[in-house]
Amino acid sequence: MWAKAKTSISGAAIIAACLCAPALPVAAQATPTLFQPPPGCTAFLTVQSRGCTVSHHWICEGNAPGTHWRAVLNQDGPFSLSFTDAEFRWLKSWDLRGGSTTSLIEPEQDPASLTDLLASGNDTMVYSLRIEGPSGSSQRDYTGFDRLTGDAVTVDGRALLVTEFTYQFDTGAGTRRVSGNQFVHEGWRMFFGGIETVTEADGTSYDYDSSPMDFAEPGEPGFLSLQPIHDCGAMMSGTPHDPLQNG
C-alpha cells in the first residue's frame, strides 16, 4: 500500500516536521508560531474544530494525485498524522504520542468510496487495518456505511453536505460501535467530524463533537495557526480523537 502512494517525502520526515510544532504555553499564545509542512510540501487548508483541535492539510511532491496529509493538534501540540487518498481512504495514520502506526490492508473487501457516496448518496465499506506499536501488531476488521442525509450547512462560508454514518470493529473485548453525523466538502473531497457517539461492548457510551467551526486557506487569517480556539479549557467528554475512517 505505501509503495502505491509513490511518495518522495518519507513518513519519518513528515512525523519529524509535525513533532517540531510545539505546544503553546499561555505566554506564547498572543504570538503563535505557524505550522510548517516539510520541504517539498504545500499546505492548503487549516481547520479549527470543536473539542479544542486545529488541523492542517497539505500535499507533497511525488505523492499520487488526490492524496493529502493531515496533522491534528490540541493545546499540547500534535497528536495525530494521517495520509488519505482521493476517495478519503485512510491509507496510513500515526499516533504521535502513543507511537503506533495504522495501515490500510489492501485490497479491501468493500473499499470506502467518496465518489460512490456523492453519486448515489450511500456508500458501504468492509476493510481491515493493521496496527503496529510498542506492544506489538494486531488487525482490526471494520464494517460500516456513510449516507448523505440530504441536508447541507454553511460553515465559515463553505457549503458542507451532512452525512450519517456507523462503523464497528472487534476490540478483542467485544464490539465497539461509532455512529453519528459528519460533513463532506465536495470540492476538497474531504470529510470533517461532527457529533458522534462511541458505544463499547458493555453498553457504556460517550459523545464527542469535532465539528468544523472555521476554515482558513492561504492568505486568510488563521492559516497555519498552531493555536486551537474552540472549547479549549472547557470540560469535555471523551478524549482526543482521530477516527480511523472518515473525518
Q: What does the pLDDT look like over 64-93, one tens digit per residue?
A: 999 999 999 999 999 999 999 999 999 999
Q: Each residue of 25-37: b (16+ CB within 10 Å) or e? A: eeeeeeeeeebbb
- Is the model's pLDDT at 18 over the cut of 70? no
Paired strand residues for 191:
184
Paired strand residues for 1:
none
Look at residue 172 in the predicted model and tell me its pLDDT: 87
CATH topology of domain 3-216: YmcC-like fold (2.40.360)
- Is the model's pLDDT at 30 over the cut of 70? no
Q: Give the global pTM.
A: 0.86
What is the pLDDT of the chain when averaged over all its residues?
87
- Is the model's pLDDT at 194 over the cut of 70? yes
Please report which confidence band the pLDDT of residue 233 belongs to, taking 50, 70 and 90 as the band edges.
confident
Look at residue 226 in the predicted model and tell me its pLDDT: 96
Look at residue 132 in the predicted model and tell me its pLDDT: 97
CB atoms under 10 Å from CB of 139, counted, come to 11
Are 119 and 184 in contact by the 8 Å Cβ rule? The answer is: no
Please report which confidence band the pLDDT of residue 16 belongs to, taking 50, 70 and 90 as the band edges.
low
Straight-line distance from the first to the last Cα atom of the chain, in angstroms, rounded to the nearest whole number: 21
- Is the model's pLDDT at 108 over the cut of 70? yes
Distance CA 112, CA 39 (A): 31
| Mean pLDDT, residues 237-243 taken together | 46
Look at residue 107 in the predicted model and tell me its pLDDT: 97
**Cell numbers standing for residue 225:** 495557526
Q: Among the listed ranges 25-39, 105-119, 129-143, which one has the minimum average pLDDT value? A: 25-39
Look at residue 11 in the predicted model and tell me its pLDDT: 52
| Mean pLDDT, residues 120-130 taken together | 98
- Is the model's pLDDT at 157 over the cut of 60? yes
**Cell numbers standing for residue 183:** 460533513
Write the CB contacts of 30 (distance below 8 Å, at least 6 apart in sequence): none
Look at residue 48 in the predicted model and tell me its pLDDT: 98
**Cell numbers standing for residue 51:** 473539542
Write the CB contacts of 167 (distance below 8 Å, at least 6 apart in sequence): 125, 142, 143, 144, 145, 177, 178, 179, 245, 246
Please report which confidence band the pLDDT of residue 12 belongs to, taking 50, 70 and 90 as the band edges.
low
